[in-house]
Each structure stands twice: as structure tokens, then as C-alpha cells.
Structure 1
């Protein structure tokens, strides 16, 4: 009986973390989204752990995720890319400084505060390490 209750509680907690708010983003967020991405009219909305309204959508078969503050301010847009699509300068720095590490994810990020950068995630024991690069190979963090 106790095990069943614990499982039920775990399921409720797991599903409550999803924060799906499809079609329920504030009007200011929807307005900013439509202005920024006029070719997309049906994003999947979620509220993430940072409190951002997150739009998941595709353009020309490419998946994007855009984050917005509740007041409609755009925060950033990410898209996953292949490691081969990284600029050569970044590949060079990775070979020099991270050659023995395994890459688990690569994203191209357009940020309202940082501009364009690339987020490369390296596999680490425990928590993976994200390293942000400018196109010229400069490490941001």
C-alpha cells in the first residue's frame, strides 16, 4: 500500500514538472513570438524551470526552442546542430583543449544579451559541462 502511494506521488510530481501551457502563453509573449517568427503559427508552449515561456517549433524541418519572459521579452532561441556544423575556429579550440572529452550535444544559440554563440555540452561524471563559444573560438564561460 505504501509503495503504491509512493509510486502515485512520484507520477504526480513527474507530470507536474512538465508545465505544459499550450495556447496559454500570455498575449505579450504570443505577440513577440509572432513578430519574431511570422512563418510559425502553432508552437508548443511550456513554462520551463526558469519561469520562461518556451516555444517549441519547426521551420523548414529544423527544430527550434525560443524562450520569453512573461512580459513578452525575447530571451533566446536555440537549435540543435551537428558537431560537424560548428565553425572551424571552435573545432580547433575543442581539439586543443577538450580533445579527450566526448561531446553529448551542440546548440546554436541566439541570445538577447549574449548575441550569437554555440553551446557545446561535454560528458562529465555527475553533471555534464556546457562550454559557450563565439564563432571565432573564444570561450565565453
Structure 2
């Protein structure tokens, strides 16, 4: 009898957990659809226990956006070309990393801080990330 009780309890817990995850993901999906109604090729991932991430295309460019499980917008990362970076960011990077081959550049907007920029560089087998404010000041994330 105890065995049946524990099996039933486990099944109920699994169902409730999956329902709660669906409900919180739905809040993120709803918020996403309101903010990015023209997005295509949307792919959702659970970033961690309190956050979902959607990767998508908008106007032919790659983006990712993070939402809390309650549907609060947290951050948007947009892939851009190096030449689309602010001139001060380009100049600062070029002075600090002469001859570096840029793998990827992106603009990052979030609810906490001002917009900033990320530049990824390949060094050997590693990818190194550098972060800059719009005025070209580098910082560690």
C-alpha cells in the first residue's frame, strides 16, 4: 500500500511541476509575442530555474531575449557587424587588441543598466569576450 501511495504521489508531483513550468513559460511567451510580434524562427530554452531565453530572427538578423518566469523582460542581445558598433567602441577595441580577429559583435540591452556591447575574439581554441559601454570604456561583466 505504501508503494502505491508513493508512486501516486510521485506522479502527482511530476504533473504539478510540469504544469507550473508550462504556466511560467507561457508568461514569457506572451510577453515575447507582445514585444516582438514579427519575430520568426523562434526557439525557446530554459536558461535556469527563473529564466527563459528565446533565440529568433527579426528583420533577417539574429537576436536572443531573456524573460523571467513571470514574463518580465530582462535582456535582449542583437548580433551586429563590427562596423555597426559605435565608433568609440571600435576605436577602443582596435587600440587595445591590435590585429585581433573579431568572431562576433553584439548590442546588449537590459533592464538594469545602460546598453553595452560585446565583442568576441577567437584566441587559439578559446573564445574571449570583451565588453564596452557606448563611449568605448571596457569593463568586465
TM-score scaled to structure 2, two decimals?
0.71
Residue of structure 2 in register with 1:34 after alignment: 33
SS at match of 1:136: coil
SS at match of 1:56: strand
The Cα of 1:49 is off from its aligned counterpart by 5.8
Residue of structure 2 in register with 1:140 after alignment: 139
More helix by share: 2
1:122 aligns with 2:121: yes
Count of paired positions = 119
Take 1:50 and 1:86, find their aligned partners in 2: how far apart are those partners?
Answer: 33
Q: Say if 1:25 and 1:102 are closer, same or farther in 2 by CA, change over 3 A.
A: farther
Of stretches 108-117 and 35-44 in structure 1, the one that deviates more from structure 2 is 35-44
Query: Counterparts in 2 of 1:22-61, with a 5 A limit?
Result: 26-40=25-39, 43-48=42-47, 52-61=51-60
Structure 2 spans left out of the alignment, 5+ residues: 1-21
Structure 1 spans left out of the alignment, 5+ residues: 1-22
Residue of structure 1 in register with 2:7 after alignment: none
More strand by share: 2
- Aligned partners of 1:34 and 1:41 also within 8 Å: no
TM-score scaled to structure 1, two decimals?
0.71
Q: 4+ residue stretches of structure 1 with deviation over 6 A? A: none
Task: For residues 48-102 of structure 1, give each alpha carbon's deviation from its aligned partner in whole angstroms, at most 9, with x where no partner exists.
Answer: 3686311122222122111112121212111211111111101111121111322
The Cα of 1:126 is off from its aligned counterpart by 4.9
Q: Give the greater-gyration-radius structure (CA).
A: 2
- Aligned partners of 2:63 and 2:78 also within 8 Å: yes
